[in-house]
Structure 1
Protein backbone atom coordinates (compact mmCIF):
# COMPACT_ATOMS: atom_id res chain seq x y z
CA UNK A 1 0.00 0.00 0.00
CA UNK A 2 1.63 3.17 -1.26
CA UNK A 3 0.59 6.63 -2.36
CA UNK A 4 -0.38 7.29 -5.95
CA UNK A 5 1.05 10.17 -7.92
CA UNK A 6 -1.51 13.02 -7.97
CA UNK A 7 -2.79 14.11 -11.40
CA UNK A 8 -0.79 16.83 -13.11
CA UNK A 9 -3.66 17.96 -15.32
CA UNK A 10 -4.74 21.60 -15.35
CA UNK A 11 -8.20 21.36 -13.78
CA UNK A 12 -9.34 24.69 -15.22
CA UNK A 13 -8.30 23.58 -18.69
CA UNK A 14 -10.19 20.29 -18.29
CA UNK A 15 -13.36 22.15 -17.34
CA UNK A 16 -13.03 24.55 -20.25
CA UNK A 17 -12.49 21.64 -22.65
CA UNK A 18 -15.65 20.00 -21.35
CA UNK A 19 -17.61 23.20 -21.78
CA UNK A 20 -16.24 23.75 -25.27
CA UNK A 21 -17.00 20.20 -26.38
CA UNK A 22 -20.57 20.18 -25.03
CA UNK A 23 -22.90 19.59 -27.97
CA UNK A 24 -26.09 20.46 -26.14
CA UNK A 25 -26.65 24.24 -26.11
CA UNK A 26 -28.42 24.25 -22.75
CA UNK A 27 -25.66 22.20 -21.15
CA UNK A 28 -22.98 24.48 -22.56
CA UNK A 29 -24.81 27.55 -21.23
CA UNK A 30 -25.23 25.99 -17.80
CA UNK A 31 -21.56 25.05 -17.59
CA UNK A 32 -20.71 28.63 -18.54
CA UNK A 33 -23.02 30.12 -15.91
CA UNK A 34 -21.79 27.96 -13.01
CA UNK A 35 -18.11 28.03 -13.97
CA UNK A 36 -17.24 30.59 -11.27
CA UNK A 37 -18.97 28.44 -8.63
CA UNK A 38 -17.20 25.27 -9.74
CA UNK A 39 -13.76 26.87 -9.94
CA UNK A 40 -14.16 28.44 -6.49
CA UNK A 41 -14.84 24.94 -5.15
CA UNK A 42 -11.74 23.64 -6.90
CA UNK A 43 -9.71 26.18 -4.92
CA UNK A 44 -11.30 25.07 -1.65
CA UNK A 45 -10.63 21.40 -2.46
CA UNK A 46 -7.00 22.16 -3.26
CA UNK A 47 -6.56 24.12 -0.02
CA UNK A 48 -8.03 21.29 2.05
CA UNK A 49 -6.75 18.25 0.11
CA UNK A 50 -5.42 16.57 3.27
CA UNK A 51 -8.49 17.46 5.38
CA UNK A 52 -11.40 17.01 3.00
CA UNK A 53 -13.70 16.25 5.92
CA UNK A 54 -14.01 20.04 6.40
CA UNK A 55 -15.62 20.48 2.97
CA UNK A 56 -18.97 22.23 3.18
CA UNK A 57 -22.03 21.18 1.22
CA UNK A 58 -22.06 21.67 -2.52
CA UNK A 59 -22.96 25.10 -3.82
CA UNK A 60 -24.53 23.57 -6.94
CA UNK A 61 -28.21 23.07 -6.05
CA UNK A 62 -30.15 23.46 -9.29
CA UNK A 63 -31.13 19.97 -10.50
CA UNK A 64 -30.43 20.80 -14.14
CA UNK A 65 -26.99 22.17 -13.26
CA UNK A 66 -26.29 19.00 -11.29
CA UNK A 67 -27.39 16.89 -14.26
CA UNK A 68 -25.20 18.91 -16.63
CA UNK A 69 -22.12 18.37 -14.45
CA UNK A 70 -22.84 14.68 -13.94
CA UNK A 71 -23.21 14.11 -17.67
CA UNK A 72 -19.70 15.47 -18.20
CA UNK A 73 -18.31 12.24 -16.77
CA UNK A 74 -20.67 9.81 -18.45
CA UNK A 75 -19.34 7.54 -21.16
CA UNK A 76 -21.30 9.11 -23.98
CA UNK A 77 -20.75 11.30 -26.99
CA UNK A 78 -21.51 14.39 -24.93
CA UNK A 79 -19.13 13.42 -22.13
CA UNK A 80 -15.74 14.89 -21.42
CA UNK A 81 -13.32 12.60 -23.28
CA UNK A 82 -13.13 10.43 -20.18
CA UNK A 83 -10.64 8.01 -21.69
CA UNK A 84 -8.14 10.74 -22.43
CA UNK A 85 -8.19 12.27 -18.94
CA UNK A 86 -8.21 8.92 -17.14
CA UNK A 87 -5.35 7.71 -19.34
CA UNK A 88 -3.27 10.70 -18.29
CA UNK A 89 -3.97 9.98 -14.62
CA UNK A 90 -3.01 6.32 -14.96
CA UNK A 91 0.08 7.09 -17.06
CA UNK A 92 1.61 8.89 -14.07
CA UNK A 93 1.47 5.78 -11.89
CA UNK A 94 4.10 3.09 -11.35
CA UNK A 95 3.74 -0.17 -13.26
CA UNK A 96 2.61 -1.76 -9.99
CA UNK A 97 -0.20 0.74 -9.46
CA UNK A 98 -1.29 0.46 -13.08
CA UNK A 99 -2.07 -3.18 -12.37
CA UNK A 100 -3.04 -3.18 -8.69
CA UNK A 101 -5.96 -1.36 -7.06
CA UNK A 102 -4.58 1.02 -4.40
CA UNK A 103 -7.62 0.46 -2.19
CA UNK A 104 -7.26 -3.32 -1.86
CA UNK A 105 -4.14 -4.47 -3.74
CA UNK A 106 -5.98 -7.45 -5.21
CA UNK A 107 -7.58 -6.53 -8.53
CA UNK A 108 -6.68 -4.37 -11.51
CA UNK A 109 -7.87 -0.73 -11.32
CA UNK A 110 -10.38 -0.78 -14.16
CA UNK A 111 -12.62 2.03 -12.86
CA UNK A 112 -12.30 5.52 -11.41
CA UNK A 113 -13.57 6.38 -7.94
CA UNK A 114 -14.80 9.89 -7.17
CA UNK A 115 -13.30 10.31 -3.71
CA UNK A 116 -15.90 12.96 -2.93
CA UNK A 117 -18.96 11.28 -4.51
CA UNK A 118 -20.25 13.07 -7.57
CA UNK A 119 -23.80 12.43 -6.39
CA UNK A 120 -23.08 14.66 -3.37
CA UNK A 121 -20.48 16.99 -4.89
CA UNK A 122 -21.34 17.29 -8.60
CA UNK A 123 -18.83 20.14 -9.01
CA UNK A 124 -16.02 17.57 -8.62
CA UNK A 125 -17.35 15.17 -11.27
CA UNK A 126 -14.47 15.99 -13.62
CA UNK A 127 -11.97 17.44 -11.14
CA UNK A 128 -8.81 15.34 -11.72
CA UNK A 129 -7.57 15.31 -8.08
CA UNK A 130 -10.93 13.78 -7.11
CA UNK A 131 -10.55 10.87 -9.56
CA UNK A 132 -8.73 7.84 -8.13
CA UNK A 133 -8.10 4.65 -10.17
CA UNK A 134 -9.46 1.59 -8.38
CA UNK A 135 -11.05 -1.80 -9.04
CA UNK A 136 -14.77 -2.19 -9.63
CA UNK A 137 -15.30 -4.12 -6.39
CA UNK A 138 -13.84 -1.37 -4.21
CA UNK A 139 -15.63 1.31 -6.22
CA UNK A 140 -18.94 -0.43 -5.66
CA UNK A 141 -18.26 -0.97 -1.96
CA UNK A 142 -17.28 2.63 -1.40
CA UNK A 143 -20.14 3.98 -3.52
CA UNK A 144 -21.32 7.37 -2.20
CA UNK A 145 -19.97 6.79 1.33
CA UNK A 146 -17.04 8.86 2.46
CA UNK A 147 -17.87 10.57 5.79
CA UNK A 148 -19.34 9.54 9.15
CA UNK A 149 -19.75 11.88 12.12
CA UNK A 150 -17.33 14.33 10.56
CA UNK A 151 -14.60 11.74 9.97
CA UNK A 152 -13.50 10.33 6.64
CA UNK A 153 -14.07 6.63 6.06
CA UNK A 154 -11.46 5.96 3.37
CA UNK A 155 -7.83 6.68 2.70
CA UNK A 156 -7.07 9.18 -0.04
CA UNK A 157 -4.16 7.71 -1.98
CA UNK A 158 -3.20 11.06 -3.46
CA UNK A 159 -3.06 13.17 -0.33
CA UNK A 160 -3.09 11.06 2.83
CA UNK A 161 0.27 10.11 4.25
CA UNK A 162 0.31 6.32 3.77
CA UNK A 163 2.67 5.11 6.52
CA UNK A 164 5.72 3.00 5.79
CA UNK A 165 5.35 1.41 9.21
CA UNK A 166 3.80 -2.06 9.26
CA UNK A 167 0.16 -2.35 10.27
CA UNK A 168 -1.18 -5.27 8.18
CA UNK A 169 -0.31 -8.55 9.88
CA UNK A 170 -0.96 -12.19 9.10
CA UNK A 171 -1.65 -14.98 11.55
CA UNK A 172 -1.30 -18.56 10.33
CA UNK A 173 -3.71 -20.89 12.13
CA UNK A 174 -2.88 -24.58 11.82
CA UNK A 175 -5.36 -27.43 12.16
CA UNK A 176 -4.92 -29.83 15.05
CA UNK A 177 -4.74 -32.64 12.50
CA UNK A 178 -1.11 -32.65 11.27
CA UNK A 179 -2.19 -34.16 7.96
CA UNK A 180 -3.99 -30.92 7.11
CA UNK A 181 -0.99 -29.05 5.86
CA UNK A 182 -2.07 -25.62 4.76
CA UNK A 183 -2.96 -23.19 7.55
CA UNK A 184 -5.87 -20.82 7.63
CA UNK A 185 -4.76 -17.25 7.03
CA UNK A 186 -6.17 -14.42 9.12
CA UNK A 187 -5.34 -10.82 8.28
CA UNK A 188 -5.47 -8.27 11.08
CA UNK A 189 -4.54 -4.67 11.72
CA UNK A 190 -2.08 -3.95 14.51
CA UNK A 191 -0.54 -0.64 15.47
CA UNK A 192 2.78 -1.71 16.93
CA UNK A 193 4.85 0.92 15.16
CA UNK A 194 3.65 4.16 16.68
CA UNK A 195 1.25 5.23 13.92
CA UNK A 196 -0.76 8.23 15.15
CA UNK A 197 -4.21 7.34 16.55
CA UNK A 198 -6.15 9.45 13.99
CA UNK A 199 -4.18 8.01 11.10
CA UNK A 200 -4.60 4.46 12.35
CA UNK A 201 -8.33 5.07 12.90
CA UNK A 202 -8.65 6.10 9.24
CA UNK A 203 -6.71 3.01 8.13
CA UNK A 204 -8.96 0.81 10.27
CA UNK A 205 -12.08 2.43 8.83
CA UNK A 206 -10.80 1.96 5.27
CA UNK A 207 -10.31 -1.78 5.79
CA UNK A 208 -13.59 -2.17 7.66
CA UNK A 209 -15.78 -0.31 5.16
CA UNK A 210 -14.33 -2.26 2.23
CA UNK A 211 -14.39 -5.57 4.12
CA UNK A 212 -10.76 -6.07 3.19
CA UNK A 213 -9.59 -8.31 6.03
CA UNK A 214 -12.09 -11.05 5.16
CA UNK A 215 -11.59 -10.51 1.44
CA UNK A 216 -7.83 -10.90 1.79
CA UNK A 217 -8.16 -14.02 3.95
CA UNK A 218 -10.12 -15.68 1.15
CA UNK A 219 -8.14 -14.22 -1.73
CA UNK A 220 -4.82 -15.46 -0.37
CA UNK A 221 -5.69 -19.17 -0.61
CA UNK A 222 -4.30 -19.74 -4.10
CA UNK A 223 -1.02 -17.97 -3.36
CA UNK A 224 -0.60 -19.96 -0.16
CA UNK A 225 -1.39 -23.23 -1.93
CA UNK A 226 1.19 -22.51 -4.64
CA UNK A 227 3.88 -21.69 -2.08
CA UNK A 228 3.09 -24.82 -0.10
CA UNK A 229 3.20 -27.01 -3.20
CA UNK A 230 6.52 -25.53 -4.33
CA UNK A 231 8.21 -26.23 -1.01
CA UNK A 232 6.58 -29.65 -0.56
CA UNK A 233 7.98 -30.85 -3.88
CA UNK A 234 11.41 -29.46 -3.22
CA UNK A 235 12.18 -30.79 0.24
CA UNK A 236 15.48 -32.07 -1.10
CA UNK A 237 16.54 -28.46 -0.63
CA UNK A 238 17.31 -27.29 2.89
CA UNK A 239 14.66 -25.25 4.67
CA UNK A 240 17.02 -22.26 4.87
CA UNK A 241 17.20 -22.10 1.08
CA UNK A 242 13.43 -21.85 0.79
CA UNK A 243 13.33 -19.19 3.49
CA UNK A 244 15.97 -17.14 1.72
CA UNK A 245 14.06 -17.38 -1.56
CA UNK A 246 10.87 -16.26 0.17
CA UNK A 247 12.71 -13.39 1.84
CA UNK A 248 14.01 -12.11 -1.50
CA UNK A 249 10.50 -12.17 -2.94
CA UNK A 250 9.07 -10.46 0.15
CA UNK A 251 11.70 -7.72 -0.03
CA UNK A 252 10.78 -7.14 -3.68
CA UNK A 253 7.09 -6.83 -2.77
CA UNK A 254 7.95 -4.33 -0.05
CA UNK A 255 10.00 -2.20 -2.44
CA UNK A 256 7.28 -2.20 -5.08
CA UNK A 257 4.08 -2.15 -3.04
CA UNK A 258 5.07 -1.31 0.54
CA UNK A 259 5.16 -3.05 3.91
CA UNK A 260 1.39 -3.43 4.00
CA UNK A 261 0.82 -5.16 0.69
CA UNK A 262 -0.94 -8.48 1.30
CA UNK A 263 1.86 -10.58 -0.23
CA UNK A 264 4.48 -8.75 1.85
CA UNK A 265 2.56 -9.68 5.01
CA UNK A 266 1.86 -13.25 3.92
CA UNK A 267 5.44 -14.02 2.99
CA UNK A 268 6.76 -12.53 6.22
CA UNK A 269 4.39 -14.69 8.26
CA UNK A 270 5.51 -17.84 6.43
CA UNK A 271 9.18 -16.97 6.82
CA UNK A 272 8.70 -16.59 10.57
CA UNK A 273 6.60 -19.75 10.98
CA UNK A 274 8.57 -22.82 12.09
CA UNK A 275 5.42 -24.92 12.03
CA UNK A 276 4.75 -24.18 8.36
CA UNK A 277 8.05 -25.80 7.38
CA UNK A 278 8.04 -28.51 10.04
CA UNK A 279 4.73 -29.91 8.83
CA UNK A 280 5.93 -30.01 5.24
CA UNK A 281 9.25 -31.69 6.00
CA UNK A 282 7.68 -34.20 8.40
CA UNK A 283 5.07 -35.13 5.80
CA UNK A 284 7.74 -35.61 3.14
CA UNK A 285 9.84 -37.80 5.40
CA UNK A 286 6.89 -39.97 6.39
Structure 2
Protein backbone atom coordinates (compact mmCIF):
# COMPACT_ATOMS: atom_id res chain seq x y z
CA UNK A 1 0.00 0.00 0.00
CA UNK A 2 1.12 3.53 0.76
CA UNK A 3 4.78 4.39 1.27
CA UNK A 4 6.63 7.29 2.86
CA UNK A 5 8.53 9.04 0.08
CA UNK A 6 11.01 11.94 0.11
CA UNK A 7 9.63 15.44 -0.03
CA UNK A 8 10.19 17.35 -3.29
CA UNK A 9 13.72 18.71 -3.48
CA UNK A 10 12.67 22.24 -4.40
CA UNK A 11 11.71 24.78 -1.75
CA UNK A 12 7.96 25.25 -2.03
CA UNK A 13 7.96 28.93 -1.12
CA UNK A 14 10.80 29.70 -3.55
CA UNK A 15 8.74 28.11 -6.33
CA UNK A 16 5.66 30.04 -5.21
CA UNK A 17 7.57 33.33 -5.37
CA UNK A 18 8.88 32.52 -8.84
CA UNK A 19 5.33 31.78 -10.00
CA UNK A 20 3.94 34.98 -8.52
CA UNK A 21 6.78 36.96 -10.03
CA UNK A 22 5.62 35.90 -13.49
CA UNK A 23 2.02 36.98 -12.94
CA UNK A 24 0.87 39.94 -14.96
CA UNK A 25 -2.88 39.49 -14.82
CA UNK A 26 -4.41 40.15 -11.38
CA UNK A 27 -1.09 41.55 -10.16
CA UNK A 28 -2.84 43.63 -7.48
CA UNK A 29 -4.55 40.52 -6.08
CA UNK A 30 -1.35 38.47 -6.03
CA UNK A 31 0.53 41.30 -4.37
CA UNK A 32 -2.03 41.40 -1.60
CA UNK A 33 -2.26 37.65 -1.04
CA UNK A 34 1.44 36.74 -1.43
CA UNK A 35 2.35 37.06 2.30
CA UNK A 36 -0.70 35.00 3.31
CA UNK A 37 0.19 32.32 0.76
CA UNK A 38 3.72 32.03 2.15
CA UNK A 39 2.38 31.82 5.71
CA UNK A 40 -0.13 29.17 4.66
CA UNK A 41 2.63 27.12 3.02
CA UNK A 42 4.65 27.20 6.24
CA UNK A 43 1.58 26.17 8.21
CA UNK A 44 0.96 23.25 5.81
CA UNK A 45 4.43 21.89 6.52
CA UNK A 46 4.03 22.41 10.27
CA UNK A 47 0.59 20.75 10.25
CA UNK A 48 1.87 17.90 8.04
CA UNK A 49 -0.93 18.53 5.61
CA UNK A 50 -3.66 18.08 8.24
CA UNK A 51 -6.64 20.43 7.68
CA UNK A 52 -7.46 20.74 11.39
CA UNK A 53 -6.48 24.21 12.59
CA UNK A 54 -5.71 25.13 8.97
CA UNK A 55 -8.84 26.57 7.35
CA UNK A 56 -8.70 27.70 3.71
CA UNK A 57 -7.81 31.31 3.09
CA UNK A 58 -10.79 33.68 2.88
CA UNK A 59 -10.28 35.20 -0.54
CA UNK A 60 -12.67 38.06 0.22
CA UNK A 61 -9.91 39.53 2.38
CA UNK A 62 -7.72 40.06 -0.69
CA UNK A 63 -10.16 41.45 -3.26
CA UNK A 64 -12.17 44.65 -3.59
CA UNK A 65 -15.58 43.12 -4.28
CA UNK A 66 -17.59 39.90 -3.99
CA UNK A 67 -17.65 39.51 -7.76
CA UNK A 68 -13.87 39.12 -7.81
CA UNK A 69 -13.77 36.09 -5.51
CA UNK A 70 -14.62 33.33 -7.99
CA UNK A 71 -12.39 34.63 -10.84
CA UNK A 72 -9.42 34.95 -8.44
CA UNK A 73 -10.06 31.44 -7.09
CA UNK A 74 -10.01 30.13 -10.66
CA UNK A 75 -6.78 32.02 -11.22
CA UNK A 76 -5.14 30.35 -8.19
CA UNK A 77 -6.29 26.92 -9.38
CA UNK A 78 -5.08 27.77 -12.87
CA UNK A 79 -1.50 28.07 -11.60
CA UNK A 80 -1.50 24.26 -11.66
CA UNK A 81 -1.70 24.29 -15.47
CA UNK A 82 1.23 26.51 -16.53
CA UNK A 83 2.59 26.84 -20.03
CA UNK A 84 5.84 24.99 -20.73
CA UNK A 85 7.96 28.12 -20.39
CA UNK A 86 6.38 29.15 -17.08
CA UNK A 87 6.84 28.04 -13.49
CA UNK A 88 6.12 25.48 -12.12
CA UNK A 89 5.83 23.39 -15.31
CA UNK A 90 9.20 21.64 -14.93
CA UNK A 91 8.71 21.02 -11.22
CA UNK A 92 5.32 19.40 -11.83
CA UNK A 93 6.68 17.28 -14.67
CA UNK A 94 9.48 16.06 -12.43
CA UNK A 95 6.99 14.88 -9.81
CA UNK A 96 4.62 13.46 -12.39
CA UNK A 97 6.92 11.74 -14.87
CA UNK A 98 10.37 11.49 -13.29
CA UNK A 99 9.54 10.37 -9.76
CA UNK A 100 11.48 7.05 -10.09
CA UNK A 101 8.81 5.22 -8.10
CA UNK A 102 8.05 1.56 -8.83
CA UNK A 103 4.62 1.49 -7.18
CA UNK A 104 1.92 4.02 -6.36
CA UNK A 105 2.76 5.51 -2.93
CA UNK A 106 -0.94 6.08 -2.28
CA UNK A 107 -2.16 2.49 -2.75
CA UNK A 108 0.87 0.27 -3.49
CA UNK A 109 -0.23 -0.97 -6.92
CA UNK A 110 2.87 -1.93 -8.97
CA UNK A 111 3.86 0.47 -11.73
CA UNK A 112 5.14 4.02 -11.87
CA UNK A 113 2.44 6.59 -10.99
CA UNK A 114 1.97 9.17 -13.73
CA UNK A 115 -0.45 11.67 -12.20
CA UNK A 116 -0.41 14.00 -9.20
CA UNK A 117 -2.92 14.02 -6.39
CA UNK A 118 -3.74 17.15 -4.42
CA UNK A 119 -3.82 15.85 -0.84
CA UNK A 120 -5.94 18.85 0.13
CA UNK A 121 -8.17 19.46 -2.92
CA UNK A 122 -7.48 22.60 -4.88
CA UNK A 123 -11.23 23.26 -5.15
CA UNK A 124 -11.34 23.74 -1.37
CA UNK A 125 -7.76 24.99 -0.87
CA UNK A 126 -6.94 26.89 -4.08
CA UNK A 127 -3.93 28.40 -2.29
CA UNK A 128 -2.31 24.95 -2.32
CA UNK A 129 -2.84 24.27 -6.02
CA UNK A 130 0.93 24.42 -6.64
CA UNK A 131 2.24 23.72 -3.15
CA UNK A 132 4.67 20.89 -3.93
CA UNK A 133 4.11 19.39 -0.48
CA UNK A 134 0.42 19.06 -1.35
CA UNK A 135 1.18 17.21 -4.62
CA UNK A 136 1.87 13.49 -4.41
CA UNK A 137 2.56 11.13 -7.34
CA UNK A 138 -0.39 8.75 -7.64
CA UNK A 139 -1.93 6.26 -10.03
CA UNK A 140 -4.96 7.30 -12.06
CA UNK A 141 -7.26 5.09 -9.98
CA UNK A 142 -6.28 6.62 -6.65
CA UNK A 143 -6.70 10.13 -7.97
CA UNK A 144 -10.12 9.24 -9.33
CA UNK A 145 -11.26 7.59 -6.10
CA UNK A 146 -10.09 10.35 -3.78
CA UNK A 147 -11.43 13.27 -5.81
CA UNK A 148 -12.19 16.06 -3.31
CA UNK A 149 -12.47 13.86 -0.22
CA UNK A 150 -9.83 14.71 2.35
CA UNK A 151 -11.01 14.88 5.98
CA UNK A 152 -12.98 12.92 8.56
CA UNK A 153 -15.74 14.05 10.93
CA UNK A 154 -13.15 15.33 13.41
CA UNK A 155 -11.59 17.55 10.76
CA UNK A 156 -8.34 15.57 10.50
CA UNK A 157 -6.89 13.91 7.41
CA UNK A 158 -8.78 10.82 6.28
CA UNK A 159 -5.84 9.75 4.10
CA UNK A 160 -2.22 8.89 4.78
CA UNK A 161 0.20 11.56 3.56
CA UNK A 162 3.22 9.97 1.83
CA UNK A 163 5.49 12.91 2.65
CA UNK A 164 4.74 13.04 6.36
CA UNK A 165 3.41 9.78 7.79
CA UNK A 166 5.75 7.08 9.10
CA UNK A 167 4.32 4.18 7.08
CA UNK A 168 7.37 2.35 5.77
CA UNK A 169 6.43 -0.75 7.75
CA UNK A 170 3.85 -3.50 7.19
CA UNK A 171 0.43 -1.90 7.58
CA UNK A 172 -1.94 -4.75 6.87
CA UNK A 173 -2.08 -8.50 6.25
CA UNK A 174 -4.04 -10.67 3.85
CA UNK A 175 -5.49 -13.88 5.33
CA UNK A 176 -6.22 -16.91 3.12
CA UNK A 177 -8.95 -19.41 3.98
CA UNK A 178 -9.49 -22.89 2.51
CA UNK A 179 -9.61 -24.19 -0.12
CA UNK A 180 -6.05 -22.99 -0.56
CA UNK A 181 -5.99 -23.74 -4.28
CA UNK A 182 -8.67 -21.07 -4.77
CA UNK A 183 -8.69 -19.33 -1.39
CA UNK A 184 -11.09 -16.83 0.04
CA UNK A 185 -9.16 -13.80 1.26
CA UNK A 186 -9.74 -11.17 3.91
CA UNK A 187 -7.85 -8.10 5.06
CA UNK A 188 -6.69 -7.11 8.52
CA UNK A 189 -4.98 -3.88 9.55
CA UNK A 190 -1.96 -4.82 11.67
CA UNK A 191 -2.66 -4.46 15.37
CA UNK A 192 0.94 -3.63 16.28
CA UNK A 193 0.38 -0.15 14.87
CA UNK A 194 -0.74 2.67 17.12
CA UNK A 195 -4.53 3.00 17.44
CA UNK A 196 -4.38 6.35 15.66
CA UNK A 197 -2.49 4.85 12.72
CA UNK A 198 -4.81 1.82 12.58
CA UNK A 199 -7.79 4.14 12.19
CA UNK A 200 -5.99 6.20 9.54
CA UNK A 201 -4.93 3.10 7.58
CA UNK A 202 -8.51 1.76 7.61
CA UNK A 203 -9.87 5.11 6.45
CA UNK A 204 -7.23 5.35 3.74
CA UNK A 205 -7.93 1.85 2.42
CA UNK A 206 -11.62 2.59 2.16
CA UNK A 207 -11.05 5.96 0.52
CA UNK A 208 -8.96 4.59 -2.37
CA UNK A 209 -11.27 1.57 -2.89
CA UNK A 210 -8.31 -0.65 -2.09
CA UNK A 211 -10.09 -3.89 -1.30
CA UNK A 212 -12.07 -4.32 -4.51
CA UNK A 213 -8.99 -3.53 -6.55
CA UNK A 214 -6.72 -5.86 -4.58
CA UNK A 215 -9.12 -8.81 -4.76
CA UNK A 216 -9.06 -8.63 -8.55
CA UNK A 217 -5.28 -8.36 -8.55
CA UNK A 218 -5.00 -11.30 -6.14
CA UNK A 219 -6.74 -13.71 -8.50
CA UNK A 220 -3.98 -13.49 -11.10
CA UNK A 221 -1.11 -12.99 -8.64
CA UNK A 222 -1.96 -16.09 -6.60
CA UNK A 223 -1.82 -18.23 -9.72
CA UNK A 224 1.75 -16.97 -10.10
CA UNK A 225 2.48 -18.20 -6.58
CA UNK A 226 1.04 -21.61 -7.44
CA UNK A 227 3.42 -21.71 -10.42
CA UNK A 228 6.38 -20.75 -8.22
CA UNK A 229 5.49 -23.55 -5.81
CA UNK A 230 5.05 -26.08 -8.63
CA UNK A 231 8.41 -25.16 -10.15
CA UNK A 232 10.20 -25.37 -6.78
CA UNK A 233 8.71 -28.77 -6.04
CA UNK A 234 9.55 -30.08 -9.51
CA UNK A 235 13.11 -28.75 -9.43
CA UNK A 236 13.92 -29.96 -5.94
CA UNK A 237 16.78 -27.49 -5.49
CA UNK A 238 15.04 -25.16 -3.06
CA UNK A 239 11.92 -25.41 -0.91
CA UNK A 240 8.71 -23.62 -1.79
CA UNK A 241 9.22 -21.39 1.24
CA UNK A 242 12.68 -20.40 0.02
CA UNK A 243 11.31 -19.69 -3.47
CA UNK A 244 8.55 -17.47 -2.10
CA UNK A 245 10.98 -15.69 0.24
CA UNK A 246 13.26 -14.97 -2.73
CA UNK A 247 10.32 -13.53 -4.66
CA UNK A 248 9.37 -11.42 -1.64
CA UNK A 249 12.86 -9.97 -1.34
CA UNK A 250 12.72 -8.92 -4.98
CA UNK A 251 9.30 -7.27 -4.78
CA UNK A 252 9.81 -5.55 -1.43
CA UNK A 253 12.32 -3.26 -3.17
CA UNK A 254 9.29 -1.58 -4.77
CA UNK A 255 7.96 -0.79 -1.31
CA UNK A 256 7.23 -2.74 1.84
CA UNK A 257 3.51 -2.25 1.25
CA UNK A 258 3.39 -2.79 -2.49
CA UNK A 259 0.77 -5.37 -3.39
CA UNK A 260 3.12 -8.23 -4.28
CA UNK A 261 5.19 -7.71 -1.12
CA UNK A 262 2.03 -7.80 1.00
CA UNK A 263 0.88 -11.02 -0.65
CA UNK A 264 4.22 -12.83 -0.32
CA UNK A 265 4.69 -11.64 3.27
CA UNK A 266 1.16 -12.75 4.23
CA UNK A 267 1.83 -16.23 2.83
CA UNK A 268 5.20 -16.50 4.54
CA UNK A 269 3.49 -15.72 7.85
CA UNK A 270 0.86 -18.44 7.39
CA UNK A 271 2.14 -21.96 8.20
CA UNK A 272 -1.02 -23.65 6.91
CA UNK A 273 -0.79 -22.01 3.49
CA UNK A 274 2.92 -22.78 3.27
CA UNK A 275 2.23 -26.42 4.13
CA UNK A 276 -0.33 -26.58 1.34
CA UNK A 277 2.08 -25.05 -1.15
CA UNK A 278 4.82 -27.46 -0.05
CA UNK A 279 2.72 -30.63 0.06
CA UNK A 280 -0.80 -30.07 -1.24
CA UNK A 281 -2.35 -30.71 -4.63
CA UNK A 282 -1.55 -27.67 -6.79
CA UNK A 283 -3.85 -28.40 -9.71
CA UNK A 284 -7.57 -28.93 -10.18
CA UNK A 285 -6.75 -31.63 -12.68
CA UNK A 286 -6.12 -35.30 -11.68
TM-score scaled by structure 2? 0.83
Q: Match for residue 133 of structure 1?
A: 137
1:255, distance to aligned residue in structure 2 (A): 4.8
- Are positions 1:261 and 2:258 aligned together? yes
Distance 2:125 2:82 in 1: 19
Partner residue of 1:143? 147
Q: Are residues 1:241 and 2:247 paired?
A: no
Task: Summarize deviations over 1:19-77 as a string: whole Å, max 9, x none.
Answer: 3334xx42444323321221121122122126443312323342222111111102656
2:64 maps to which residue? none
Q: SS at 1:171's partner residue?
A: strand
Is residue 42 of structure 2 the alignment partner of residue 43 of structure 1? yes
8 Å CA contact 2:189, 2:202 repeated in 1: no
* Cα distance, 1:117 vs structure 2: 0.7
* 8 Å contact kept, 1:73–1:80: no
CA gap of 1:275–1:184, structure 2 versus 1, over 3 A, is: same
Q: Secondary structure at the match of 2:59?
A: coil
After TM superposition, give the deviation of residue 282 of structure 1 in Å: 7.9
Q: Which runs of 5+ in 1 are unaligned?
A: 176-180
- What's the secondary structure of 1:120's corresponding residue? coil
Q: 1:10 aligns to what?
A: 11
1:1-286 matched pairs, under 5 angstroms: 1-22=2-23, 25-49=24-48, 51-61=50-60, 62-74=69-81, 76=83, 80-82=87-89, 84-89=90-95, 95=100, 98-106=101-109, 107-149=111-153, 150-162=155-167, 164=169, 166-175=170-179, 182-184=181-183, 186-193=185-192, 195-232=193-230, 235-238=233-236, 241-258=239-256, 260-271=257-268, 272=270, 273=273, 274-280=275-281
Q: What secondary structure is seen at the aligned counterpart in 2 of 1:112?
A: strand
Supply the distance in 2 between the matched residues of 1:76 and 1:90 (Cα, whole angstroms). 16
Cα shift at 1:147: 0.7
CA distance in 1, matches of 2:125, 2:231: 56
- What number of residue pairs does the alignment pair up? 271
Residue 234 of structure 2 aligns to a residue whose secondary structure is coil
Q: CA deviation at 1:158?
A: 0.2
TM-score under structure 1 normalisation? Answer: 0.83
Higher relative contact order (CA 8 A, sep 6+): 2
Provide closer, same or farther for how the CA distance between residues 282 and 85 of structure 1 changes in structure 2, counting only shifts above 3 A.
closer
TM-align CA RMSD: 2.8
In 2: Cα distance, 1:116 partner to 1:51 partner: 8
Secondary structure of the residue aligned to 1:148 is coil
Q: Distance in 2 between matches of 1:108 and 1:264?
A: 16
Segments of 5+ residues of structure 2 without an aligned counterpart are 61-68
Q: 1:113-140: CA deviations, max 9, x gaps?
A: 1111110011111111111110111011
User: Is the Cα contact below 8 Å between 2:15 and 2:88 reproduced in 1?
Assistant: no
Question: Residue 133 of structure 1 aligns to a residue in which SS?
Answer: strand
Q: Contact (CA 8 Å) 2:240, 2:278: kept in 1 or not?
A: no
